[in-house]
Structure 1
Amino acid sequence: MDYFLQLLISGVAVGLVYGFIGMGFAMIFRATGVVNFAQGELMMLVAYIGFTLVGTFKLGFWPLLLASIGVSVLIGLMVEVLLIRPMLGQPVFSTVMVTIGLAVIIRSVVVLIWGADPMPLATGLSTTPIRIGPAGLYPAQIYALGIMACVVGGLWAFFRFSRTGIAMRATANLQTTALLMGINVKRIFALSWALSAGLAAIAGVLVGVIYDLNPGMWLTGLRSFPAVILGGLDSVFGAALGGVLIGVAENLSEGYIGRGMKEIAGFVLILVVLMVRPYGLFGKAEIERV
């Protein structure tokens, strides 16, 4: 029983990182209908920029997190304005290819600037595990739970009560109608990229603090993609829960079945779920009238 609880708790901790990245995927898809395949690479880039900020300004964990979010939001806005906005009116496939090209460029830039050797993201945060029952969690993993609760609560209030949040929901439902109602859709697109980049920054800092930095960090983005499929591509909060479920599934499969299962457990899980609910656990089914 202790072994199961250890796998479960550590799986939830890993799943929180997947959840942040998955929410970023869903944020952009919900507003624009585009899957940003550079989300994991953006997370990696911001984490390495955070490494430079720590070395230059000796930032602690919380100042680094806030600074990384600010930098990431600016990068997200630049990507939307320079690369994505010119693709408006073009086939979705073309825009997706732009994000794939951006992902490849970011991977090369990271290696070119920072090198290929692993590096610690030293923020002064304790690396001594804290015992929670049979499991030991790093302080950063515990902070991730609190940050996730704050982010989910803040986004729920934003979408529910703010005029901008309601405009984003309207744009997600039907862009043409939103335009006719006077909503600035281009501004909504830019905001969705900015929010998605901010979520990537949180994930990047957490991954860097817990696991160190390396050029293979972008794979965390790929492994978190099942989270957004599981929760529903158009459900931001479903992606958060999907990330936790994927993290738990990976840990349990590796713990009870064997090594190598961790890499495929998430994809096996979404195959099973999609056979029952093709639009994910919390996604909305598209109804076409002919």
Structure 2
Amino acid sequence: MNYLIQLTATGIAIGAIYGLIAMAFALVYKSTGLINFAQGEVAMMVAYLTWAFAGQFGSGLIGVAVFTIVAGMVLGLVIERLLIRPMMGEPIFSIVLVTIGLAVILRSLVLLIWDASPHPMGIEAASELIRIGNLNMRAGQVFVIGLMGALLVASWAFFRYSRYGIAMRAVADDDRTALLMGVNTARVQAVAWAASSTIAGMAGVCFAALYDISPDIYSIGLKAFPAAILGGLDAVLGSAFGGIIVGLIENMTGGYMSSTIKEISGFVLIVGVLMIRPSGLFGQREIERV
């Protein structure tokens, strides 16, 4: 029983990281209708920038947290302004190819500037053990679960009550009508890219703090994509819960079966779910009249 509880807790922790990046996928899709296939690479780049900052100025939690947020926002705004905005109006497939090219560029930049070897993130507090009853968890795992919970509440309040959140929902429903109603769609999309990059960057830093930093971090984007599909690409909160589900399934299959099955379990899960609910567990069904 203790083994099951431990697997469940660690599965929720890694699922929270997947859920954060899945939220980033959903934010961009909800505001622009695009899938950013460089989301894992964005998380990787922010993690490396934060690692470089921590090496130069110290690994204090407040300083690292502030730098991660700023680096994520700036990177997201740069990507949106230089790569995505000039492509607006072009076929969706062309813009998706731009994000794939961006993923390759970011991976190459990391290898060019740093190296391919794994390194400790240097945030010692993340490795401290916290005992909860009979359960042992690292502080970083507890933190990322709490972070996702806080972002879930913040996202719900943002989309329901904030000016930009309501504008983002309007753009997602019908960007042309929103533009005619006076919504600055370019600004809304810039906010969405900045927010998604920041959330992905937080996930990347949390993952690096728990498991060391290396160029392979980008692969968490590949794990988070099934989570976003599972929860529903147009459902930001649902995507986060999709991450938890994928993390739990992966950890259980890895703990009781094999690591090979663990790697494919998330994709097997979404195939089964999408055959029943094509829009995902929490996605909005589209009804077309013909």
1:163 and 2:167 correspond? no
Specify the alignment match of 2:139 in structure 1. 139
Name the structure 1 match of 2:257.
257
Per-residue CA deviations over 1:6-61 (Å, capped at 9, x if unaligned) read: 11111001000001000000000011010000000000001000011001111312
Shift of 1:254: 1.2
Shift of 1:136: 2.2
Query: Where in structure 1 are there 5+ consecutive unaligned residues?
Result: none
Work out whether 1:123 is the aligned partner of 2:128.
no
Quick check: 2:47–2:205 contact (8 Å CA) kept in 1? Answer: yes
Q: Contact (CA 8 Å) 2:126, 2:209: kept in 1 or not?
A: no
Separation in 2, partners of 1:24, 1:126: 23
Match of 1:241 in 2: 241
Question: Are 2:250 and 2:263, in contact at CA under 8 Å, matched by a contact in 1?
Answer: yes
Q: Secondary structure at the match of 2:127?
A: coil
Worse-matched range after superposition: 3-12 or 57-66: 57-66
User: After superposition, where does 1:46-195 map in structure 2 within 5 Å?
Assistant: 46-195=46-195
Work out the CA distance in 2 between the residues paired with 1:232 and 1:14.
19
Report deviation, 1:90.
Answer: 0.6
Identity %: 49
Matched AA of 1:58: G
Q: TM-score, normalization: structure 1?
A: 0.97
Deviations 1:66-108 (A, max 9, x none): 2111111011001001100011111100000000000001001
Q: Secondary structure at the match of 1:220?
A: helix
Give unmatched runs, 5+ long, in structure 2.
Answer: none
Aligned with 2:213: secondary structure? coil
Aligned residue in 2 for 1:196: 196
C-alpha displacement at 1:4, in angstroms? 1.3
CA drift of 1:128 comes to 3.1
What is the distance in 1 between the residues matched to 2:133 and 2:95? 47
Q: Which amino acid aligns with 2:212?
A: D
Three-state SS of the structure 1 residue aligned to 2:136 is: strand
SS in 2 for 1:130: strand
Q: Which amino acid aligns with 1:279?
A: S
Cα distance in 2 for residues equivalent to 1:126 and 1:95? 37
Q: Residue type matched to 1:188 in 2?
A: V
Residue 224 of structure 1 corresponds to which residue in structure 2? 224
Q: Do the aligned residues in 2 keep the contact of 1:140 with 1:209 (CA within 8 Å)?
A: yes
Contact in 2 for aligned 1:61/1:124 (Cα 8 Å):
no
Mapped contact 1:3–1:134 kept (Cα < 8 A): no
Count of residues in Structure 1 that have an aligned counterpart in Structure 2 = 290
Displacement of 1:145 in angstroms is 1.6
Q: Does 1:279 align with 2:275?
A: no
Paired with 1:23 and 1:275, the residues of 2 have a C-alpha distance of 22
Backbone CA RMSD of aligned residues: 1.1
Match of 2:289 in 1: 289
